[in-house]
């Protein structure tokens, strides 16, 4: 009994030590999800510990020697889900896991790239922000610039130009499809975009872990979008109730968030697309991708673009904020002072 207790304590201590070791890592998935998100799989048992142990490749005997607990079914699931590959008797992690030193090198490079891109965008950015101000949308500038331009149109154009691979769920990739990686350390500030679609309408929410303001129900947000698509305004009492504190629409249901028509008739769209095209031109023509993450030989050029640009986006934001060209919404800059009404600064609708 004493031996068994000792083994249990050792196992718990091992897991605790590992969790402490990886708490500074950020997991990023530029992907579509089918059967399971990669983090759902890595959250089972000690799959994450196995993933890290297999970064340099191990046989089962090698895992035994370094004291990593595993079962054949765990390894099988990780292989089937595309997180690990097996070549002969060697298991190896298929996703990039960037250590602190690797991340420092990558971010040194992306910071230099951002410093070259930002001046190229200055005139177009000034025009866009002037237009937004003239339409009373100055508080939406940050989220539109990030979530619509950098985290929206740029990716769309990269996919249209076949610079990055499509991420559709397919028979040979039923769990998830796209690019998934882990990186240390986490950035002090980063943000992302959540989007829902209904036919040719989509609604996007700019979010950040730093913010305390968020959409309480994405189910109701979809109903909000469906209602607007059908009626041109909000009509349903349950939607009024769900978002009554967020100031997304007036008492008569008229929207108070940006609605962008994605064609040449919309000045915001055309100015945004001009900015996105300049970013894409730089990514396509000014970077030698053979020099990017050279130790990760299994990465495609498209995956390198994905990982690199994810960092460049935030570097662009940081640099523009430093230069006074853009300002975070209060939900991000001063979370404690933000109120429910400030959510409307983070949301917009696009009609294709």
pLDDT at 3: 40
pLDDT at 15: 64
Share of the chain above pLDDT 90, in %: 93
| pLDDT of 6 higher than 80 | no
Q: Which two tokens stand for residue 304?
A: 């390198």
Round the average pLDDT of the chain to a whole number and report it.
Answer: 94
Q: What band does 1 get if pLDDT is binned at 50, 70 and 90? A: very low
- Tens of pLDDT, residue by residue over 252-277, are 999 999 999 999 999 999 999 999 99
| pLDDT of 249 higher than 60 | yes
Q: Which residue has the higher pLDDT, 160 or 20?
A: 160
Alpha-carbon distance 326 to 315, whole Å?
13
Spatial neighbors of 74 by CB under 8 A, at least 6 apart, are 44, 45, 47, 50
Q: Which two tokens stand for residue 349?
A: 């609708």
DSSP string, 290-347: GGSSTT-TT--HHHHHHHHHHHHHHHHHHHHHHTTS----HHHH-TTT--GGGGGGGE
- Tens of pLDDT, residue by residue over 139-190, are 999 999 999 999 999 999 999 999 999 899 999 999 999 999 999 999 999 9
- Tens of pLDDT, residue by residue over 211-236, are 999 999 999 999 999 999 999 999 99
pLDDT at 9: 40
Mean pLDDT to the nearest integer, 94-102? 97
Q: What band does 58 get if pLDDT is binned at 50, 70 and 90? A: very high
| pLDDT of 8 higher than 50 | no
| pLDDT of 53 higher than 50 | yes
| CA dihedral (212, 213, 218, 220) positive or negative | positive
Report H helices in the chain. 2-22, 38-42, 47-53, 60-65, 72-80, 100-134, 141-143, 154-160, 218-231, 237-242, 267-285, 301-322, 330-333
The CA dihedral of 326, 329, 335, 337, to the nearest 10 degrees, is 110
| pLDDT of 19 higher than 90 | no
Q: Which two tokens stand for residue 180?
A: 């998934």
pLDDT at 14: 61
Alpha-carbon distance 115 to 111, whole Å?
6
pLDDT at 16: 73
Buried b / exposed e over 115-131, threshold 16 CB at 10 Å, is: eebbeebeebbeebbeb
Mean pLDDT to the nearest integer, 17-27? 91
Mean pLDDT to the nearest integer, 57-71? 96
Domains of the chain, by residue range, sit at 2-95, 100-175+187-351
Alpha-carbon distance 49 to 18, whole Å?
7
Contact in structure between 178 and 305 (CB atoms under 8 Å): no
């Amino acid at each position: 009994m004493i031996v068994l207790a000792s083994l249990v304590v050792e196992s718990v201590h091992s897991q605790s030590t590992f969790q402490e070791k990886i708490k500074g890592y950020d997991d990023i998935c530029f992907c579509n999800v089918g059967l399971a998100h990669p983090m759902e799989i890595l959250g089972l048992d000690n799959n994450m510990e196995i993933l890290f142990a297999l970064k340099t490749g191990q046989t089962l005997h090698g895992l035994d020697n370094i004291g990593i607990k595993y079962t054949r079914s765990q390894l099988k699931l990780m292989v089937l889900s595309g997180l690990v590959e097996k070549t002969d008797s060697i298991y190896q992690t298929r996703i990039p896991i960037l250590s602190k030193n690797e991340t420092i090198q990558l971010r040194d490079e992306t910071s230099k790239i951002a410093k070259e891109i930002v001046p190229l965008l200055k005139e177009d950015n000034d025009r866009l922000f002037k237009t937004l101000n003239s339409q009373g949308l100055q508080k939406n500038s940050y989220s539109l610039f990030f979530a619509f331009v950098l985290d929206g149109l740029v990716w769309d154009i990269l996919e249209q130009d076949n610079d990055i691979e499509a991420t559709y769920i397919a028979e040979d990739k039923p769990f998830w499809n796209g690019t998934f990686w882990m990186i240390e350390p986490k950035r002090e500030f980063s943000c992302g975009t959540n989007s829902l679609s209904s036919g040719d309408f989509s609604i996007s929410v700019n979010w950040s872990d730093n913010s305390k303001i968020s959409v309480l129900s994405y189910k109701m947000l979809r109903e909000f979008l469906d209602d607007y698509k059908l009626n041109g305004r909000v009509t349903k009492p349950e939607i009024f109730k769900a978002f009554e504190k967020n100031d997304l629409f007036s008492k008569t249901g008229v929207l108070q968030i940006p609605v962008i028509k994605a064609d040449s008739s919309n000045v915001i769209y055309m100015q945004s697309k001009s900015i996105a095209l300049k970013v894409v031109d730089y990514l396509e023509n000014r970077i030698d991708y053979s020099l990017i993450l050279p130790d990760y030989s299994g990465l495609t050029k498209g995956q390198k673009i994905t990982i690199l640009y994810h960092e460049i986006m935030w570097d662009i934001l940081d640099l523009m904020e430093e230069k006074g060209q853009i300002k975070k919404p209060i939900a991000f800059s001063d979370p404690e002072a933000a109120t429910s009404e400030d959510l409307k600064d983070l949301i917009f609708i696009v009609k294709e």
